[in-house]
């Protein structure tokens, strides 16, 4: 299967990432962007390689920023020829290779500390030695991202230089960890290595990588005491969020039923569990995986596709606890949910997984990056009052505007690697059939034993629900094409060669059209995009009595710059018509919604409380896509609104 994004929404997004974000991020990694927090990521590798002096700075997982950037940059080369970028990629690979030790080990933090110790420089703590701090050290997590970069670079370019470096690294891990006597019987405090080893197994066919991934899953949670709070942490009010569940190590993975702990850790672990089920058919693991998935998306997920509602511990809390102003919803957690959703389809060909993936794509993912591609959100709240965000301690994570970079910069290159690889998620092949998962202007080349075809897709999705497919070539017997009927679509129509198809079969959410296709056959799918009032389950306390606006897969929000101050006083009148207009927000294509609403007036007197209800006045309301908020200066933003 080969997919080319040929235009439309994702082509534009990808161009911003490719032309602006990736060169920008390279400069940040090299500490060349004034005003951005120092990354030190490339400098750390130079120190570890012995090419520079000084001490490593930043987190022990600083190498992962380079690794995820390498993934994004490698994908970018497939659709954008760029010699300068190619040179930067090769320089990063050269540095990683130069830092690698003979036994395969790479991690600039631990290697630099090792060098310091050899030079007799004091103040090296035990936790700075290799494999001495698997709870917090992120060594295997970092190795995982390097391994993913190697597999991605090889798949995108066919070059084996980074792949061979990371295979040597993975071989080092196979030598160090495992059930055999003399090896370490531990797993990492931050899952990631597991899914990466599965990916390296897929790239190389080397079964020892798969076996090690399975081993790491098997021992996870078998020794919760290792990941539990220390005595001093137990007496620290803020550290109590960092118990074994934070590390997704509170119970064996096959016993897990409800998502818990640090959201990114959790969702990366569930991805690996999905890989394990795929490769082994492990029934117990599958039962756990499906329970975790169902509980997560039906009780602990925001309407944006965000997960992990609490800032302390960046974690899940309890069912239906989804506050809007202090929503943490790390961008990486949404990205992990997208990856997991895409993998779940392997176990059950239901459209419910791509529906969740789509919710992430057009909302909680894109909110993480500015429309110009240079600024980022780590935290993605659903309402912001700038003055409150400044004043309240419990809003300490909320940024009123996207920022140039972070000290812990996991999110920016994660966004870049997903958007530059979006072509890989548009279609899926399963049991010899083609599934259309996400609609986007693209070309599909597919060949199997029973047929081969070239399909061209034209659409203005997500702004329009009309999709036009032309069969450019087809050879073979009668086969079905499966088109996802998005969960937001309450009606649809299908035309083949200009004629309506009356009896359409829909199987697990996919419209199934089967025939012997011929060159120049055309298919038109229409999913009418009415503006919908969305509601939360009343068990979500914060959203009781409130509604949000959604059109197609795109969630909308209000910004005070278009409306009024004090957006909490806005009351939507559902009897009023809502108009849909094409627009441009900060230079980008958009759709805005207009309607009339009420807004409550502050009391005339300086009273805080009164026996008289506030007066209401009618206002013109303008809503913009949630993912485009915060691109026109600092102002209030709100998704959920009161309604009459
Ligand atoms: Zn992140």
| Residue 483, domain CATH | 2.60.420
CA–centroid distance, residue 615 to ligand 1 (Å)? 43
Indicate whether 272 belongs to any domain: yes
Same domain, 347 and 283: yes
518 and 537 both lie in a single domain: no
Residues 445 and 477 in one domain: yes
Q: List, for residues 294-328, the tens digit of each pLDDT value.
A: 999 999 999 999 999 999 999 999 999 999 999 99
User: Do the Cβ atoms of 521 and 502 come closer than 8 Å?
Assistant: no
Same structural domain for residues 537 and 579? yes
Q: Please tell me the distance between residue 368's alpha carbon and the centre of ligand 1 in angstroms.
A: 10
What is the CA(333)–ligand 1 centre distance, in A?
7
Told to judge if 352 belongs to the known catalytic residues of this protein, a careful annotator would answer no
- Counting beta carbons within 10 angstroms of the beta carbon of residue 164, is it exposed (0 to 12), middle (13 to 18) or buried (19 or more)? middle
- Domain assignment present for 476: yes
pLDDT band, residue 31 (cuts 50/70/90): very high
Give start and end residues of each alpha helix (H) in 177-319.
193-204, 207-219, 224-227, 231-234, 263-280, 283-299
Residue-wise pLDDT tens digits, 70-85: 999 999 999 998 999 9
pLDDT band at 617 (very low <50, low <70, confident <90, very high): very high
Nearest CA to 555 out of 563, 547, 566, 544 is that of: 547
Distance from residue 571's CA to the centre of ligand 1 (Å): 34
pLDDT band per the 50, 70, 90 thresholds, residue 89: very high
Other beta carbons within 10 Å of 530: 14
Same domain, residue pair 572 and 635: yes
Per-residue model confidence (pLDDT) at position 124: 80
SS3 of residue 376 by DSSP: strand
d(CA 501, CA 166) in angstroms, rounded, equals: 51
Reported pTM: 0.97
* Ligand 1 midpoint to CA 329 (Å): 10
Q: Same structural domain for residues 573 and 593?
A: yes
Given 489, 506, 526, which residue is the final one in a domain?
A: 526
Same structural domain for residues 401 and 322? Answer: yes
Does residue 118 carry a pLDDT above 90?
no
Compute the distance from residue 334 Cα to the ligand 1 centre, in Å.
9
Quote the number of domains for the chain. 3
411 falls within a domain: yes
Q: Which of 83, 70, 79, 167 is nearest to 424 (CA)?
A: 79
Residues 6+ apart with CB under 8 A from 201: 207, 209, 210, 213
pLDDT recorded at residue 234: 78
Annotated catalytic residue, options 167, 188, 410, 557:
410
Residue 512 lies in a domain: yes
> Does residue 122 register a pLDDT over 80?
no
Residue with tokens 């059939």: 433
d(Cα 198, Cα 211) in Å, to the nearest integer?
9
Q: Is 635 a catalytic residue?
A: no
Residue 239, pLDDT > 90, answer no
Residue 291 domain-assigned? yes
| 434-464 tens-digit pLDDT | 999 999 999 999 999 889 999 999 999 999 9
Question: Residue range 258-281: average pLDDT?
Answer: 98
Q: Are residues 315 and 404 located together in one domain of the fold?
A: yes
**How many Å lie between the centroid of ligand 1 and the Cα of residue 408?**
8
Query: Is 208 a member of any domain?
Result: no
450 domain residue, yes or no:
yes
Cβ-contact 458, 468 below 8 angstroms: yes
User: Which pLDDT value is given to residue 224?
Assistant: 86
Domain for residue 41, yes or no? no
Statement to judge: residues 518 and 375 lie in one domain: no
Residue 302 and residue 411 in one domain: yes
Distance in Å, CA 332 to ligand 1 centroid: 4
Q: For ligand 1, a single-atom ion, which residues have Cβ within 5 Å?
A: 330, 332, 410-411
Q: Quick one: 392 and 453 in the same domain? A: no
Structural domain span for residue 435: 426-526
**Cis peptide leading into residue 359 (ω within 30°):** no
145 CA distance to ligand 1 middle (Å): 13
Average pLDDT (134-151) is 97
Mean pLDDT of the residues in the chain: 96
**Is pLDDT of 44 > 90?**
yes
- 404, 421, 438 - which closes a domain: 421
* Amino acid 62: pLDDT: 96
Name the domain boundary from 399, 421, 443.
421
Q: Separation of 600 CA from ligand 1 center, angstroms?
A: 38
Q: How many CA atoms lie within 13 A of 233 on its CB side?
A: 10
Catalytic, out of 71, 192, 194, 314: 314
What's the rounded Cα separation, in Å, for the pair 548 and 533? 6
Residues 273 and 416 in one domain: yes
């Amino acid at each position: 299967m080969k997919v080319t994004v040929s235009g439309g929404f994702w082509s534009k997004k990808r161009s911003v990432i490719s032309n602006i974000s990736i060169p920008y991020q390279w400069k940040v990694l090299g500490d060349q962007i004034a005003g951005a927090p120092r990354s030190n990521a490339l400098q750390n590798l130079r120190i570890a390689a012995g090419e520079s002096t000084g001490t490593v700075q930043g987190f022990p997982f600083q190498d992962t920023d380079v690794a995820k950037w390498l993934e994004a940059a490698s994908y970018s080369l497939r659709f954008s020829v760029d010699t300068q970028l190619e040179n930067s990629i090769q320089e990063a690979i050269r540095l990683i290779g130069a830092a690698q030790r003979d036994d395969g080990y790479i991690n600039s933090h631990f290697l630099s500390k090792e060098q310091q110790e050899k030079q007799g420089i004091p103040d090296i703590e035990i936790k700075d030695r290799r494999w001495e701090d698997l709870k917090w050290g992120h060594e295997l997590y970092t190795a995982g991202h390097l391994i993913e970069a190697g597999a991605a670079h090889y798949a995108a370019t066919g070059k084996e230089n980074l792949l061979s470096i990371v295979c040597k690294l993975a071989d080092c891990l196979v030598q160090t960890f495992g059930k055999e006597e003399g090896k370490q019987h531990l797993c990492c405090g931050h899952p990631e290595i597991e899914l990466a080893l599965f990916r390296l197994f897929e790239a190389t066919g080397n079964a020892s990588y798969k076996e090690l991934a399975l081993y790491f899953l098997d021992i996870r949670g078998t020794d919760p005491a290792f990941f539990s709070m220390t005595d001093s942490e137990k007496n620290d009010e803020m550290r109590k969020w960092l118990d074994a569940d934070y590390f997704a190590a509170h119970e064996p993975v096959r016993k897990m039923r409800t998502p818990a702990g640090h959201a990114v850790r959790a969702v990366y672990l569930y991805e690996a569990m999905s890989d394990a089920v795929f490769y082994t058919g492990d029934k117990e693991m599958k039962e756990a995986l499906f329970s975790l998935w169902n509980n997560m998306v039906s009780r602990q997920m925001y309407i944006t596709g965000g997960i992990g509602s609490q800032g302390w511990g960046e974690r899940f809390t309890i069912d239906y606890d989804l506050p809007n102003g202090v929503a943490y919803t790390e961008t990486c957690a949404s990205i992990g949910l997208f990856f997991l959703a895409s993998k779940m389809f392997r176990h059950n060909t239901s459209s419910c997984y791509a529906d969740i993936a789509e919710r992430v794509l057009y909302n909680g993912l894109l909110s993480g990056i500015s429309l110009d591609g240079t600024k980022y959100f780590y935290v993605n709240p659903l309402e912001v009052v700038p003055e409150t965000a400044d004043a309240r301690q419990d809003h300490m994570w909320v940024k009123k505007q996207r920022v140039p970079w972070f000290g812990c910069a996991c999110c920016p290159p994660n966004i870049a690697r997903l958007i530059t690889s979006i072509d890989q998620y548009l279609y899926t092949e399963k049991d010899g059939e083609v599934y259309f998962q996400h609609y986007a202007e693209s070309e599909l080349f597919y060949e199997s034993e029973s047929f081969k075809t070239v399909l061209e897709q034209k659409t203005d999705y997500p702004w329009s629900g009309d999709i036009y497919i032309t069969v450019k070539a087809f050879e073979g017997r009668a086969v079905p094409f499966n088109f996802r009927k998005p969960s937001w679509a309450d009606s649809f129509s299908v035309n083949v060669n200009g004629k309506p198809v009356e009896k359409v079969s829909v199987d697990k959410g996919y419209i199934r059209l089967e025939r012997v296709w011929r060159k120049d056959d055309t298919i038109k799918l229409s999913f009418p995009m009415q503006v919908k009032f969305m509601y939360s389950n009343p068990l979500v306390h914060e959203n009781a009595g409130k509604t949000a606006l959604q059109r197609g897969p795109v969630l909308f929000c209000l910004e005070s710059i278009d409306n009024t101050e004090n957006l909490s006083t806005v009351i939507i009148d559902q009897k009023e018509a809502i108009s849909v207009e094409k627009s441009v927000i900060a230079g980008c294509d958009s759709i805005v919604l207009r309607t009339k609403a009420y807004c409550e007036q502050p009391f005339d007197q300086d009273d805080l409380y009164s026996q008289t209800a506030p007066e209401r006045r009618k206002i013109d309301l303008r809503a913009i896509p949630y993912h485009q908020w915060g691109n026109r200066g600092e102002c209030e933003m709100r998704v959920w609104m009161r309604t009459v």
